[in-house]
A and B are shown apart, each in its own frame.
Chain A
């Protein structure tokens, strides 16, 4: 296991480097010009100076190297400084700045992360809590009414796009019934009971849109994993020994079935961050997805680059986590 872990870590590092290179290359090949949106009256030499000050005058490999150093070395140090208050190294260390707002990219990202984590994280937790019992019951009562309804529900769940369910919920619950606000107010501070209720109200719709989609996928997967295990010999033995059904299911079947499900859940976590882009756009949540859309529209290269690379690192990281969990939970797997 230890050796496997090290080997797995060592392949993750070049993967991240290659991905960062690909993303940097794509952004660099782009024909867009950051000074294009500035007023026409700005003379050519000033434009050149602006481009120079944005660091665009240097050759590709130097800019790539500088970005990598900034992303993996300087910015983590900056975050550490802010968290501990202590000063580490050079006080005038370079900051990776957004071209649009001129503020450090990291500050923008840390501002937006809580909203995304709340809405997206909560929906994922709800989805997991709903999906596992749903999938298990579907599998135990295969071909029952419950199972068939569950099948239809989950196929609908991942066929109807979130941007349509979101709009439908807005039409029904905000426009017609007026129960919930149609947008998410991020300036709301929870300090007493009424503001807490307001917060819950504005979270219900975005959370349920995302949760519906995730529940559909995870419950399908749980169902097939449980079905695979129910056919195994050890289940028959357990029944033959006279255990009651819930003991067999919970203690034996579920324990084994959840191994691949947990892996799937771990693999899904980075997808949530990127997948929330659409939901955030519908309900006007100013989270990370909204930040990315803004950055793309304003051709804010440093911000786009940082966000995309963070998404990529999350994917690689959770792939690693999923592999490790699988190895720990399933003793049948021995890594050579």
Chain B
């Protein structure tokens, strides 16, 4: 009988939710759109990503084509970004370099998010692992990041180049090293969130109906950890792009024939006096990308936190 009386109510509720469907992501999007800077960042980032993905298909000049007859030219219609000291077209080089810089950012972010979420959720959920894993995180945090990055990349560059080819080898190495040295803040955030969520009633209910631990972790806890992870993943993309550019700028990242934005800056700094646009374009592109990602991260933080909703 109880089922009978509950049913019409349930149907009514369903009909109502059908009329104005509101999901977590829908709400977040509504909130996100109110954040002016974040929307501005999103538009800029979409333009930049489209540019580097579609750009080389439209702008068909070979980024490696050398023509001394047109070296060191200022921006013009034929070469909107100008040319470098070897007469290579800088628009083509910047578009191609952007692909690599963005790919490094996203891939390194994925590595660090996987590690961070794994270690953070294990430390938060399993009490006996907590102390061990957090001590490990502390030690990793105490490692000097940039010096160690430089050391590891210089030492293992040749080995990976032999194994995977010049471009892929360095790519894997840079992504892996940036990711492996960048997961600690995420792990701490995830651990904190898991610690508070696992005390909630719905987790207790799941334990009481006899769900297995893996199921509780994957179906009940991890979805709730998603929003802080998303926020820190945007910031991690920005940080990884900056780190890759810094490495290339120090001449220790990608080889000279792979024009990432940082590498273009490194190559261009010797020609600042005569052809300043050589460094201005890649520098502006890096800054714009990082700036827009940081704005998006700010907007996401507000949008995904239900307590901030007005």
Binding site for B on A (CB under 8 A): 15, 18-19, 22-23, 26-27, 29-32, 155-156, 158-161, 163-164, 167-168, 170-171, 175, 270, 274-275, 277-278, 281-282, 292-293, 296-297, 299, 304, 307-308, 311-312, 315-316, 319
| Contact-residue bracket for chain B | 35 or more
> Are A26 and B152 within 8 A (Cβ)?
yes
Q: Does B77 contact A (CB under 8 A)?
A: no
Cross-interface CB contact of B155 among A31, A170, A293, cutoff 8 Å:
A31
Asked whether, in the complex, the Cβ of A167 is within 8 Å of the Cβ of B147, the reply is: no
Segment 260-308 of B: residues with Cβ below 8 Å from A: 262, 265, 269, 272-273, 276, 279-280, 283-284, 286-287, 290-291, 294-295, 298
Determine how close the nearest CB of chain A comes to the CB of B38; give it in whole angstroms: 11
Q: Are A159 and B287 in contact (CB under 8 A)?
A: yes
> What residues on B are CB-neighbors of A18 within 8 Å?
139
Can you name 13 extra interface pairs (CB under 8 A) apart from A15-B142, A278-B250?
A23-B143, A23-B151, A27-B155, A160-B287, A161-B245, A163-B283, A164-B283, A175-B273, A175-B276, A277-B250, A293-B150, A308-B144, A308-B147
- Bound CA–CA A292/B155 (angstroms): 14
Q: Quick check: is B230 within 8 A (CB to CB) of the other chain?
A: no
Tell whether A278 pairs with B246 under 8 Å between CB atoms, given A30-B155, A161-B290, A171-B276. Answer: yes
Closest to A270 in B: B144
Query: Using Cβ atoms and an 8 Å threshold, which residues of chain A touch B155?
Result: 26-27, 29-32, 299
Question: Within 8 Å CB of A307, what residues of B?
Answer: 147
CB distance from A4 to the nearest CB of B (A): 16
User: In the complex, which residues of chain B have a beta carbon less than 8 angstroms from the beta carbon of A278?
Assistant: 246, 249-250
Decide if the interface of chain B is mainly helix, strand, loop or mixed: helix
Chain B nearest CB: distance from A61 CB in Å? Answer: 20
B residues near A274, Cβ cutoff 8 Å: 144-147
Q: Is the CB of A171 within 8 A of B156?
A: no
Q: Which B residues touch A29, using CB under 8 A? A: 155
Smallest beta-carbon distance B205→chain A, Å? 33
B158 at the interface (CB under 8 A from A): yes
CB of B204 closer than 8 Å to a CB of A: no
Contact of B246 among A26, A163, A170 (CB under 8 A): A163
Contact with A along B150-180 (1 / 0, CB 8 A): 1110111011000000000000000000000
Chain A residues in 8 Å Cβ range of B249: 163, 278, 281
Check B90 for interface membership: any CB of A closer than 8 A. no
- Shortest Cβ distance from residue B177 to the other chain A in the assembled complex, whole angstroms: 11
B272 touches A311 (CB 8 A): no
- Asked whether, in the complex, the Cβ of A19 is within 8 Å of the Cβ of B272, the reply is no
Take A15-B138, A319-B142 as given contacts and tell me if A164 and B273 are in contact as well, using a CB distance cutoff of 8 Å: no
Residue of A nearest to B289 (CB): A159
Q: Which residue of A lies closest to B288 (CB)?
A: A159
The 7 A-B residue pairs whose C-beta atoms are closest, nearest first, are: A30-B155, A164-B283, A311-B144, A159-B291, A160-B287, A159-B290, A163-B249
Q: Is residue B43 within 8 Å, beta carbon to beta carbon, of the partner chain?
A: no
Contact check: which of B143, B238, B283, B298 meets A167 at CB < 8 Å? B283
